[in-house]
Amino acid sequence: MRKIITIKDVINSKFAIKEEKGRILYECLRNLLEKNEKVVLDFKDIIASTTRFFNVSIAILYKDFPENIVDNIEIINTNSVLNSQLEVSKNGAKEFYRIK
Q: What is the pLDDT of residues 30-87, one digit of tens each?
A: 999 999 999 999 999 999 999 999 999 999 999 999 999 999 999 999 999 999 999 9
Could you tell me the sign of the dihedral formed by the alpha carbons of 2, 85, 81, 68, in that order? negative
Mean pLDDT computed over every residue of the chain = 95
pLDDT of residue 19: 97
Higher-pLDDT residue of 14 and 100 is 14
pTM of the model: 0.93
Tell me how long the chain is: 100
